Amino acid sequence: MHIELVPFDNKHQPAIRGVRNAVFIQEQRIDPGLEYDGLDENAVHVLLSIDGQWAGTGRLLDDGHIGRIAVRKEFRGLGLGAKVVQALVDEAARQGHTRVHLGAQKYATGFYRKLGFTPYGDEFLDAGIVHISMEKALG
């Protein structure tokens, strides 16, 4: 397994898009116009590979928002999602954030709870999928 923090540049964009296209656009049927919201260029991304195959990704925005956590179906159940999230949490702490937050798909709230996130606020729809806001204090 290899995991690294990368920019959304010409070198890394195809791998990031490949994972997100497989998970969000093909599996979850999210409109590409919603998936690619114009925020990627200013985010720090994580790319995770196994045996040279891109398996997972996620991003951290300037305000401590973690999002676009995706692990390709054939690599699920190996704890890779937790590694992606932890790499982003570590980067947020390195940047001096005191808190990270995210919008979790409702079915994934248990996953994020295990990683120390707490829900807050009301449920909301994003791309037609029910989400709940979650946060984690850092430091």
State how far the alpha carbon of 4 is from the alpha carbons of 60, 79, 91, 112, 126, in Å.
13, 16, 11, 21, 28
Kindly state the tokens that stand for 84: 């992606």
Query: Taking a C-beta distance cutoff of 8 angstroms, is the pair 24, 30 a contact?
Result: yes
Query: Taking a C-beta distance cutoff of 8 angstroms, is the pair 134, 104 a contact?
Result: yes
Q: What is the pLDDT of residue 37?
A: 94
Set out the domains of the chain in order of their start, with CATH numbers. Answer: 2-97 (3.40.630.30)
With 90 as the cut, is the pLDDT of residue 139 above it? no
With 90 as the cut, is the pLDDT of residue 72 above it? yes
pLDDT tens-place string over residues 26-66? 999 999 999 999 999 999 999 999 999 999 999 999 999 99
CA distance 63 to 21: 25
